[in-house]
Each structure stands twice: as C-alpha cells, then as structure tokens.
Amino acid sequence: MTTTLSRRAVLVRGALALSATAFATGGFATGALAQAEIPVGWVLPLSGGSAAIGQQARTGVQIAVDQINAAGGIKAMGGAKLKLVFADSQSKPDIGSSETERLIQRENVAVIGGAFNSAVTFPATELAERYKTPWIVMGAVKDEITERNFKYVFRINNKATYDAREQLDAIDMLKTETGQGPKTLAIFYEGSDWGRSHAANVRKLAKERGYTLVLDEAAPPNQVDFSAQLLKIRAARPDALIAAFYTPDHLLLSRQLFEQQLNLPFGLHSVGGGTEDPSFYKAVSPKAVAYYFVQEDRQVDALQGEPLPEFVDVEKRFRDTLGYGMSAYGAQGFSVMYVIRDALERARSADRQALRDAIAATDLTSGPAMYVGYQRIKFDEQGQNTFAHGAISQNLNGQRRTVWPAASRAPDTKPAWPVPAFGARS
C-alpha cells in the first residue's frame, strides 16, 4: 500500500510539474515536449469582399496539411500531426486583430499564417509580435509589415515596393522593345493600406523614371459606382492606368470601363488583387478585361499549364474543391505550410521561441515549399523574403500570357503594345 501511494505521489508531482512548465511556456501547444498535435492558426478573409481569395488560400493550406500528416507528421517530434485552427477576419482590421488574440490566447497556436489583406495583417502582426508568436505573412504586401524591426513576423511573398517596381520595369521593357510607350500615368486604387502603399511606390518610381502623373485617386472600399472617378480619368487622358483593387471593386471598375469604352493607349496595369482571382474571371466578360496587364504573384502560365508530376494531385484536389484551377493564393497557402513544416522539423519543437528562431534561419531552394514559384525562400533581418518575385501577364485572346520578364515569355506570345482602341477590337 505504501509503495502504491508513493508512486501516486510521484505521478501527481510529475503532473503538477508538467502543468507548471506548460503554463510558463504559454501552454502545451508551445512547449518543447513531444505532443500529439501542433495547433497552427490561420487568419483569412473567409467571408466578405475577399472571401473567394480567402477560400483559395484555405484550400491550399488544407491540402498541404493533409499531405504532411499523411506522410507521418513532424518526424522530429515523434510524428506529431498538424492541427489547423482557422479564423475569419471578414477583411476587417478589428475582427482580424481580435481573432488573432483568440488564436494566441485561447487556441494556444504555435504559429500563425495569413491574413491576405494588408489592412488586417498590419495590426494583427503587431499583436503577434507583442505575444511573441511567429507569423508568416501570406499575400499582404504593405511595405511596413516587414519594416518595423519585428522579430516574429516573416513574409514569403513580394512587398509593395517589389510589385510597383515590376510594373514599371515591364512598361520600361516594352518601351525599349517597341520604341513607344506612355509618358503620362494615372493611379486609381482602393483606399486602405494595400492601395495606398502601392500608390506611394508608383508615385516614387514614376518620378524617378520620368513619367508624369496626371491623376492620383483613392476610392473607398465597396463603392457602388465609379462614374465620377472615370470622368476624372477621361479628363486627365493618361497614356496608361495603374490600378489596385480587390475583387468586388475590380469587377465594378472593369464593367464600367468597358461600358464607357474608355481608351487607354498603353493599357490598364493591375497589381494583382482582384485580377489574380479566378472567381473574378468567371464573373466578368472576357471583352471587358482584354489586353489587361496584371502583376502576378506567380507566373500564371505555370499555374494554367500542365502541373509538374509531384503537384498533379495538389492541383486536381484544388480544382475538385473550388471548381477552377490553382490560384497564386492557393499556391502561397500551400507553400507557407511547407515552410512551417521545415521549421518545425529543424526546431524539433513547437515552442514559439524555438520555432521563431527556426523560421528566421529558413533557407529553402527545393521541395514542396517552392511550389509558390520562387527559386529561394530566405528571410532578411526584417523577415522579408528578398527572393520573392512576380511576373507581368497580358490578357491576349482570352488567356493571361506572361510578357515580363522577357526570359519567361513563351515564343508564341507577342504583347499588344500599344493596346487596340475599343472601336478597333474584334
């Protein structure tokens, strides 16, 4: 009897010690001990204006986690499985922040991904930094997200500076190739963090490269009519228009541009957002988006072409789930999860500090994480992947074909430059 009681006392003391350790490290999910599940949080716009993109990212994330768990989980942690905990930001900064706090404080996640919208990601990552919880940004490009000397915030994709530079580089290249191009530009953009960040970079680069800005206009979210702004654009007569809008606003803009037959000699140049969303193209007439230039987060020809053998099942499941082919945002969600898996394997722990250190030391050049389309993922001291890049496509004969960089252009792709006027289109 004495022996049994002694053993029980030892077990009780051990359990109390384990509970104390878990409490001190922020809970069992972030402790360095082996565990059956590792909770991974994701903040995404699963409803509201960016819901289609949020669902694409979620699908890519889920496919990756199912693959990882089926392959034996995190082997360095005894086969621990990843457990996804999703939170819906509704594309609203306040909700995104409160959901981030819930994931950290109540769900006790080891790491967070998301949140696509810059206006949500910027304040939410500040909370993650305060709680010393690593966050890998997906989709959001506002420069300052990785310019605050934070230690727990990382981004695999372009920041806004890169996006704007790629747009201007493509315009400059087409000018060099043809001997003709725009002298005047207009910027029209959504008025939240993303649009304003992009406009600031275009403004700076346009001045440096000798372009004249004849219009610089922000629009509030979810506007129901762009007629007044389109009148301003028509009056300003820009040679080219640079636009930054999420899916609902870009649908409205495209329809009204087409209805008004507003000619832009060197085209409309959209920085991703709505014009990278497959659901956008299902909801708009191909004639309304003909000759659009789109800054793509991933070379669209690769997404729409034959998948690499190792990704056939990934792309089939994505299509079966959503009814259309893989998007850049689905690919980003998939890749972020493999970056997290790599960090967990190297950290051999889901402790938030150990995981943060492992993410900071990431240097990937092969494997599933590269599905996003980059040649390397490595973070600088601010947490930015400096090897991120995109491409510029043009919508030709109903297909988005890469036109920049020239080395990525297919032999049968010939950019339309200048863009045919509406009256001259077939």
Confidence of residue 217 (pLDDT cuts 50, 70, 90): very high
pLDDT of 5: 33
- The per-residue pLDDT for 212 is 98
Task: CATH number of the domain at 150, please.
Answer: 3.40.50.2300
Residue 80 lies in a domain: yes
With respect to residue 62, please indicate whether it lies within any of the assigned structural domains. yes
What does the pLDDT average to over 98-120?
98
Nearest residue to 354 (alpha-carbon basis) of 27, 10, 31, 57: 31
Q: How far apart are CA 283 and CA 123, in angstroms?
A: 32
pLDDT at 305: 75
pLDDT of residue 30: 40
pLDDT higher than threshold 90 for residue 250: yes
Judge if 292 and 328 occupy the same domain: no
Q: Indicate if the pLDDT at residue 2 is higher than 70.
A: no
Q: What is the mean pLDDT of residues 398-425?
A: 94
Tell whether 8 is covered by a domain.
no
* Domain co-membership, 268 together with 407: yes
Tell me: do 285 and 184 sit in the same domain: yes
Dihedral sign of CA atoms 371, 373, 378, 384 in order: negative
Q: Give residue 232's pLDDT.
A: 97
* Span 273-295, average pLDDT: 95
What is the model's pLDDT at position 304? 73
H helices present in 294-383, as ranges = 300-304, 312-322, 328-347, 352-360
Q: Does residue 7 belong to any structural domain of this protein?
A: no
In whole angstroms, how far apart are CA 369 and each of 338, 364, 365, 387?
Answer: 5, 8, 9, 13
Q: Do 154 and 167 share a domain, yes or no?
A: no
Least confident span in 32-46, 240-254, 342-356: 32-46
User: 395 and 284, same structural domain?
Assistant: yes
pTM equals 0.89
Does 235 share its domain with 345? Answer: no
More reliable by pLDDT, 41 or 29: 41
100 and 137 assigned to the same domain: yes
Does residue 55 register a pLDDT over 80?
Answer: yes
- Most confident among 15-19, 208-212, 222-226 (mean pLDDT): 208-212
| Same-domain check for residues 124 and 175 | no
Q: 93: domain range?
A: 25-158+307-378
Is residue 239 over pLDDT 70?
A: yes
Pairing of strands 153-155, 377-378: unpaired
Q: Which pairing describes strands 135-138 and 153-155: parallel, antiparallel, or unpaired?
A: parallel
Same domain, 200 and 340: no
pLDDT tens profile 90-108: 999 999 999 999 999 999 9
Instruction: Give the confidence band of 223 by pLDDT, cuts at 50, 70, 90.
Output: confident
As a whole number, the mean pLDDT across the chain is 91
- E-strand ranges in 53-192 read 81-88, 111-115, 135-138, 153-155, 184-190
Mean pLDDT of 14-21: 36
If one counts the domains in the chain, the total is 2
Return d(Cα 292, Cα 299) in angstroms, integer.
Answer: 15
What is residue 35's predicted lDDT score, i.e. its pLDDT? 64
Instruction: Please report the pLDDT score of residue 32 as a whole number.
Output: 39
**How are beta strands 240-244 and 293-296 bridged, if at all?**
unpaired
Tell me if 1 is assigned to some domain: no
In this model, does residue 151 exceed pLDDT 70?
A: yes
Evaluate whether residue 14 is within a structural domain: no
The pLDDT, as a whole number, for residue 344 is 98
Q: Do 71 and 193 fall into the same domain? A: no
| Residues 353-377 pLDDT 10s | 999 999 999 999 999 999 999 999 9
User: What are the tokens at 240?
Assistant: 């080219």
Examine the domain organization and report whether 139 and 167 are in the same domain: no
Res 248 pLDDT > 80: yes
Q: Would you say 89 and 50 are in contact if contact means Cβ atoms under 8 Å apart?
A: no
pLDDT for position 370? 95
The reported pLDDT for the residue numbered 426 is: 76
Mean pLDDT of 180-194: 97
Comparing 17 with 210, the larger pLDDT belongs to: 210
